[in-house]
């Protein structure tokens, strides 16, 4: 096994923003287990690529174009963040003119070197290829706790005699639904809504009662005679508190749910170009329920096709299946009723199907690269998504939090920064630098849900002398993301030093896991372990460090950052780091690959679950073509980054900055 240093490979316009494999949300990190193939903390199925939702976050990356080829980019996701985005609609590609702005922005971004990603484990020669030229070139299937790969292959609805008829979805007019929703949400002064039963039969009245109760939680109904006509009258059984209660996870419905039926409807969600949280928000909006009645094992990132299991409390399969008629880029199926919800981190991992288009590598190079990935694996670095996309890396904010330097935390998040940003954010930062008036700066932001807006709102509320409370307005998961980013930054740097110092063999003083406990490798036991057994700690108060030179390196790095490695407890409990262990080399499972020839860059090179449901034949490839593509399949455990596996194959820097700078000519 030969290690190599990182070398630059010229790609044209990089799109190597690969979803981390189940970057668990920071909530999962808080509940983390210490032991996993990776770090099961924030259950790494991250909130939008593990970066807090800054106003300037780039939701996706542009495509790579191989040497000498100029192509229009497809599915480009760069877009303005909006207060309300269109539900279920795919995004339009960016205009050509925005490419220069993107390039300017990325001039000030991070490279892999900046976050400690410097080594490779294989010796093959790297080559270029286009990753995510189309988001459909990257497909993720969740692997459940039973080891089964999730597939959408059944759209049928479980038969249940207690379900209302399909007529509940069509019996109400759009105007009636609008009035009922306004009543439900107390948006007008009406205390009730009366719906005339035009064709009066008992069956028709029953369907209207069922429709109102199932589609508008919190409303009750009664039948009234008015001037010889029958009306169904909808009203609140109790006030706003009852509505709040009925839309929570504990009290999702007032009307009955069969006792014999499991309380949770589990289903497989197929989605395109949406992250999991966005998808849940869309589903909850259409179902008129709160997002917190949904549960899942891990979040999947946006720029891909992903398939995963979701559970929802006391919503029928019938109602969920009806969404297939309403939503684009979503498909729900494989319905079943279960007693329990899903829990973050319960998954075994994800299976990836990835197409690298227009590859330059020879068949021998591809064979060497893929055999190395299969037999040796890749360094389990935290990918670039972990550290943000702008000139101020998230780990710097995390370090300032751990140092208790709250003025610096505020400054790093709000100060003007190099690189192109959305105009309103530039104006917000300029206002802040000029006046230090949080209310004035906040007025410059049309989008106030981002980190900058939340911090400014906190400063307006608590004042400049109470930055800790102001920062606390930001959701806990997003706050923890910063310090987890710092831990990841330290870990990447330390694993690079470990591999540089000792190579790819275990040495005395390395750490391995026995159950959940880390122990040292002794001299006499070295031959009992392989490099795939070795773990290294993320810094914290509840971990041990290797008994060799790398222990000193940890201490030196934290000391240089004005942190005490022997005291990782923080004055504020949320920011105390217990630490965790992470394997340094990951060997993917179920690795397979093929090189295919094609002429049209727009044609799909494999079938999705929806293609198979619709009976589409698989693509047929000619023996020769204008382009060659590498189709890869592999499975990864939770909290590992597919980016880093593909990096090992291509031997290239996966940062947006590097790819953009290599290709300025093409961009302009």
Q: Is 296 helix (H, G, I), strand (E, B) or coil?
A: strand
CA nearest neighbour of 11 among 431, 316, 304, 361: 361
Could you say which DSSP state residue 593 is in?
E
Rounded CA gap, 33 and 41, in Å? 6
Positive or negative, the CA dihedral 556, 558, 562, 567 is negative
Positive or negative, the CA dihedral 340, 341, 347, 352 is positive
Active site residues: 301
- Three-state SS string over 460-476 comes to HHHCCCCHHHHHCCCCH
Q: At what angle do helices 549-560 and 476-502 cross, to 10 degrees?
A: 140
Q: Is-contact 507 533, C-beta < 8 A?
A: no
Cross-strand partners of 139: 305, 353
**CB count, 10 Å around CB of 220?**
17
Rounded CA gap, 255 and 212, in Å? 11
Rounded CA gap, 156 and 52, in Å? 38
Summarize the chain as % helix, strand, coil (round to 5).
35, 20, 50
Rounded CA gap, 643 and 634, in Å? 12
């Amino acid at each position: 096994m030969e290690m190599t240093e990182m070398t630059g490979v010229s790609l044209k316009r990089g799109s190597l923003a690969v979803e981390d494999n189940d970057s668990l949300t920071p909530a999962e990190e808080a509940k983390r287990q210490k032991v996993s193939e990776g770090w099961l903390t924030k259950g790494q199925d991250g909130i939008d690529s593990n970066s807090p939702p800054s106003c300037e976050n780039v939701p996706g990356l542009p495509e790579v174009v191989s040497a000498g080829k100029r192509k229009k980019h497809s599915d480009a996701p760069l877009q303005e963040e909006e207060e309300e985005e269109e539900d279920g609609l795919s995004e339009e590609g960016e205009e050509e003119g925005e490419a220069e702005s993107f390039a300017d922005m990325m001039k000030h971004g991070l490279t892999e070197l900046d976050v400690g990603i410097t080594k490779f484990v294989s010796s093959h020669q790297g080559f270029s290829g286009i990753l995510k030229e189309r988001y459909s070139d990257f497909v993720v299937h969740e692997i459940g706790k039973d080891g089964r790969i999730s597939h959408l292959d059944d759209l049928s609805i479980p038969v249940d005699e207690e379900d209302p008829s399909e007529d509940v979805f069509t019996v109400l007019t759009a105007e009636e639904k609008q009035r009922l929703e306004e009543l439900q949400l107390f948006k007008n002064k009406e205390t009730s809504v009366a719906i005339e039963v035009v064709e009066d039969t008992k069956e028709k009245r029953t369907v209207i009662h069922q429709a109102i109760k199932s589609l508008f939680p919190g409303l009750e109904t009664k039948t009234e005679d008015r001037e010889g006509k029958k009306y169904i009258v909808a009203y609140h059984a109790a006030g706003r508190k009852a509505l709040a209660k009925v839309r929570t996870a504990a009290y999702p419905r007032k009307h009955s749910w069969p006792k014999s039926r499991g309380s949770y409807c589990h289903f497989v969600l197929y989605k395109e170009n949406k992250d999991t949280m966005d998808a849940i928000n869309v589903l909850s909006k259409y179902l008129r329920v709160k997002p917190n009645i949904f549960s899942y094992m891990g979040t999947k990132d946006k720029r891909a096709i992903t398939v995963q299991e979701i559970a929802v409390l006391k919503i029928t399969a019938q109602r969920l299946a009806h969404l297939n008629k309403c939503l684009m880029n979503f498909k729900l199926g494989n319905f079943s009723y279960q007693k329990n919800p899903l829990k973050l981190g319960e998954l075994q991992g994800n299976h990836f199907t990835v197409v690298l288009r227009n590859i330059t590598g020879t068949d021998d190079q591809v064979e060497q690269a893929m055999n190395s990935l299969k037999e040796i694996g890749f360094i389990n670095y935290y990918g670039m998504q972990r550290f943000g996309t702008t000139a101020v890396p998230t780990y710097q904010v995390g370090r300032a939090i751990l140092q208790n330097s709250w003025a610096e935390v505020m400054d790093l998040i709000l100060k003007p920064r190099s690189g192109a940003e959305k105009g309103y954010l530039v104006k917000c930062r300029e206002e802040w630098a000029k006046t230090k008036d949080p209310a004035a700066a906040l007025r410059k932001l049309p989008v106030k849900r981002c980190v900058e807006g939340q911090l400014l709102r906190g400063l307006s509320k608590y004042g400049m002398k109470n930055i800790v409370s102001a920062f606390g307005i930001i959701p806990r998961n997003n706050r923890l993301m910063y310090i987890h980013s710092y831990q990841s930054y330290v870990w990447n740097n330390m694993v690079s030093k470990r591999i540089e110092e000792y190579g790819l063999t275990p040495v005395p003083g390395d750490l391995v896991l026995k159950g959940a406990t880390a122990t040292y490798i002794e001299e006499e036991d070295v031959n009992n372990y392989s490099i795939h057994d070795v773990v290294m700690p993320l810094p914290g108060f509840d971990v041990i460090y290797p008994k060799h030179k790398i222990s000193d390196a940890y201490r030196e790095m934290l000391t240089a950052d004005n942190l005490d490695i022997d005291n990782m407890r923080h004055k504020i409990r949320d920011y105390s780091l217990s630490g965790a262990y992470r394997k340094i080399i990951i060997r993917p499972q179920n690795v397979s690959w093929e090189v295919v020839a094609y002429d049209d860059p727009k044609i799909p090179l494999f079938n999705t679950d929806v293609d198979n449901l619709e009976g589409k034949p698989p693509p047929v490839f000619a023996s020769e073509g204008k382009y060659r593509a590498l189709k890869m399949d592999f499975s990864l455990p939770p909290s590992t980054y597919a980016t880093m596996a593909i990096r090992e194959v291509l031997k290239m820097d996966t940062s947006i900055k590097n790819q953009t700078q290599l290709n300025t000519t093409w961009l302009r």
